Amino acid sequence: MSLETAVVVSPSLIEKYAAANPLIAKAYRLLEEDEEVNELLRVANIMAVGRLKYNDHGIVHARIVSGVALHLLDLLVKAGREPTTLRDGTAKSLDDVRLIVLFSAYLHDIGNAVHRTFHEYVGALLAKDILNRLLPELGITGRRLIDIRQEVMHSIFATEYNTRCLTMECGIVKISDGLDMAEGRARVPYKMGKLDMHAVSAISIKRVEIEQGERPIKIIVNMNDMAGLFQVEQVLMPKVLTSTIEDDVEIYIRIDGRLRKYYPKE
């Protein structure tokens, strides 16, 4: 698929990447059909939405983040950036890198099935048994399984706001998590049905686009009110600034048809 035009953050993006790569298609199908993964994401939403009255943290979010993460990876590779796991030898090929990004993105919120508090840490631990079970289905065993598994666990662990990513792959997943914020899908959890700054800001963001710019990743946040800036400041920027790929990212805001650069500051 062409990476020259803007891509809209949406659940359909993962389907395009699965259609283009048989290994990613099989891995995605394993995740989609796995009983434990499905149930963890369902219970994660019972905790987040049902009990805490927060926004979605379930399977739709997992699909959105997965597609966005694979897209950001493609943009960075096309710009000549070397994935950290490939450089360090924990991934043996670009397809290994893609698997690390996909599994990290899809599973990053499963810890919410236990509790919102420390869900990144718990999610990394929950992912271990899932990866031990699913990776052999892709022909990945032995030391290669351990290396890929640990990189995925690192990426899930470091999606926490204040934790510094140590790989490009982790940063990709962390930023992708923050980009699922259009039409009320804010990544700062807000109380559903409560009209406060969090909710007003969340519904102000109408569309998030990604394209190549002066830097490999250009993010355009389309909003109908400056209240949406709260989400950019409180959700996206903490993730960008702890991603280890912040120098490869630029962020623009579009409001009233005007495009304004937000990051990096002029």
Token digits of residue 266: 């002029």
Report whether 100 contacts 139 (CB < 8 A): no
CB 176 within 8 A of CB 105: yes
Q: Please indicate, yes or no, if residue 1 is contained in any of the structural domains.
A: no
Q: Considering the domain boundaries, does residue 230 fall inside one?
A: yes
pLDDT score for 194: 60
Structure tokens at 223: 């909003």
123 near 110, Cβ under 8 Å?
A: yes
Instruction: Flag whether 83 is in a domain.
Output: yes
Q: Which two tokens stand for residue 76?
A: 């960075």
Q: What is the pLDDT of residue 189?
A: 54
Q: Provide the domain limits for residue 56.
A: 7-263
The count of domains in the chain is 1
Taking only the tens of pLDDT, the chain with its 266 residues reads 334 589 999 999 999 999 999 999 999 999 999 999 999 999 999 998 889 878 778 999 999 999 999 999 999 999 999 999 999 999 999 999 999 999 999 999 999 999 999 999 999 999 999 999 999 999 999 999 999 999 999 999 999 999 999 999 999 999 999 999 887 676 555 555 566 666 777 788 999 999 999 999 999 999 998 988 988 998 899 999 999 999 999 999 999 999 999 999 87
Residue 198 is predicted with a pLDDT of 67
> Is 254 a domain residue?
yes
Give the pLDDT score at 92. Answer: 97
- Report long-range pairs for 224-228 (Cβ below 8 Å, ≥24 apart): 224/255, 225/200, 225/255, 226/255, 227/197, 227/200, 227/201, 228/201, 228/204, 228/253, 228/255
Alpha-carbon dihedral angle through residues 187, 122, 59, 151, given to the nearest 10 degrees: 90
The pTM score is 0.94
100, 220, 207: which is closest to 148 by C-alpha?
Answer: 100
Structure tokens given for 228: 């949406």
Residue the block writes with tokens 């120098």: 247
φ and ψ at residue 83, rounded to 5 degrees: -55, 140
Return the pLDDT at 186: 62
- Cα–chain-centroid distance for residue 23? 19
Tell me, what's the pLDDT at 200? 77
Give CA angle at 168 (184, 158), nearest 5°.
60
Q: Which residues contact 163 (CB under 8 A, 6 or more apart)?
A: 120, 157, 242
Inside any domain, residue 143: yes
Scan for tokens 């009255």, then name that residue: 53
Grouping H, G, I as helix, E, B as strand and the rest as coil, residue 81 is coil
Directed axis angle between helix 22-33 and helix 59-78, to 10°?
A: 160
- The distance from CA 189 to its chain's CA centroid, rounded to whole angstroms, is 16
Residue 2 lies in a domain: no
